[in-house]
Amino acid sequence: MARAIWKGSISFGLVNIPIALYPATRREELKFRLLRKSDLSPVNYKRVAEKDGSEVPWDQIVKGYEYGKAKYVVLRDEDFQRVDLEATQTVDIQDFVDQEEIDPMYFYKPYYLEPQKGGDKAYALLRDALKETHKVGIAKVVIKTRQYLAEVKPEDGALVLELMHFADELADPEKLHVPRRMEAGKREMNMAKSLIGSMTSKWQPEKYKDDYREALMEVIEEKVEAGGKEIEEKPRKAPKPTKVIDLVSVLQKSLEETGGKRKAKGKSRGRKTHSSRKAA
C-alpha cells in the first residue's frame, strides 16, 4: 500500500474516528519523454517568468490568485490553513442517504479509509451500521487546497471515501442536441432487446483489460527489436456509422454474430471439460 496522502478523522454526530486516506486506484500509464528529433536528446521544461524570460527556481515561486487583469494577491500555506483549520482535518458527515438515490455521474475518485490508533471500534461500528442499513454517509472534506463532496461507504470490509462532484459542477445535458422523443419501431425495439439479452452476463471487472496499452506495448517492443526503425503497417479502415435505413439489418447481423460467438465459446468450454476429464 502507498503512503497515506492525508490524515484526520471521520466525524458524525459527536463521534470522531481517527483515519488515514489511501488511494484506492492506480493508473497504469505508459510514460514518454519529449526528445529533440535530430539526435533524440531529452527536452526539459523550465519555469520561465513572462516579464523577462529568465528561469525561476522553485524557492522563488509563490501561489497567486488573479483578481483582475494582471493583478494578483499572493496566498501562502498559512493562508490556506486559516480558511478553516478544523475542517481541513475532518471528513464531516452531514447526512445519511440510500446509495441507490445517487446518480453515478456524481462519483469522482475512491480512497480507502484506514483507522488509526484508538479508532478501530468506532470504525467497525460505522462500517457495519452502514452495511446493515444500506446507507452511505454524505460528507465534505478538504484535500490540499480544495473542498470536495464525498460519499463514505462500506466496501469489502473497509470504509471507502469516494470523492464526488458538487451539483453545479455537472454540465447540463439539456444543452446537448440529442433526440428527445423518437419512438422506435416495434421490430427494431424487439431486436435491440434481444441483442442486449444475448450480450448480458455477470459483472466481472477483471475480464476487462486495457487493450490499447497492451497493443501500444507490442508496437514499442517491435520498434525496440527493429532498432528504432519505422515499421510499415497497412492503414486500417474506420467502421462506418450505422445508417437509419440499415438499422434492422445491422441489428439482425449483430444478433447472428453474437449468437455465433456464444456457441463458439460454449464449444471451447465443452472441449476443455472433455479433455480435462480424459486427463483425469
Encoded amino acid at 62, one letter: V
pLDDT for res 264: 60
Supply the range of the domain harboring residue 150. Answer: 6-23+82-169
What pLDDT digit, counting tens, does each position of 15-45 carry? 889 999 988 887 777 888 889 889 889 998 8
For the chain, which residues score pLDDT lower than 50?
273, 275-280
Task: Judge whether 154 lies within some domain.
Answer: yes
Task: Judge whether 116 lies within some domain.
Answer: yes
Q: How far apart are CA 113 and CA 270, in angstroms?
A: 44
pLDDT for res 119: 92
Task: Judge whether 132 lies within some domain.
Answer: yes
What pLDDT digit, counting tens, does each position of 181-216 carry? 777 778 888 888 888 888 888 888 788 787 878 888
pLDDT for res 180: 73
In the block, which residue shows the cell 517568468? 49
pLDDT for res 279: 46
Asked if residues 73 and 64 have their Cβ atoms less than 8 Å apart, the reply is yes
pTM of the model: 0.68
**Roughly what angle, to the nearest 10 degrees, separates helices 186-198 and 247-279?**
20
Q: How far apart are CA 149 and CA 121, in angstroms?
A: 25
Task: Judge whether 97 lies within some domain.
Answer: yes
CATH of the domain at 109: 2.40.290.10
Q: What is the 3-state secondary structure (H, E, C) of the chain?
A: CCCCCEEEEEEECCEEEEEEEEECCCCCCCCCCCECCCCCCECCCCCECCCCCCECCHHHCCEEEEEECCEEEEECHHHHHHHCCCHHHEEEEEEEEEHHHCCHHHEEEEEEEEECCCCHHHHHHHHHHHHHHCEEEEEEEEECCEEEEEEEEEECCEEEEEEECCHHHCCCHHHCCCCCCCCCCHHHHHHHHHHHHHCCCCCCHHHCCCHHHHHHHHHHHHHHHCCCCCCCCCCCCCCCCCCHHHHHHHHHHHHHHHHHHHHHHHHHHHHHHHHHHHHC
Task: Judge whether 238 lies within some domain.
Answer: no
With CA atoms as reference, report the closest residue to 254 among 191, 201, 203, 187.
Answer: 191
> Considering its fold, how many domains does the chain have in total?
1
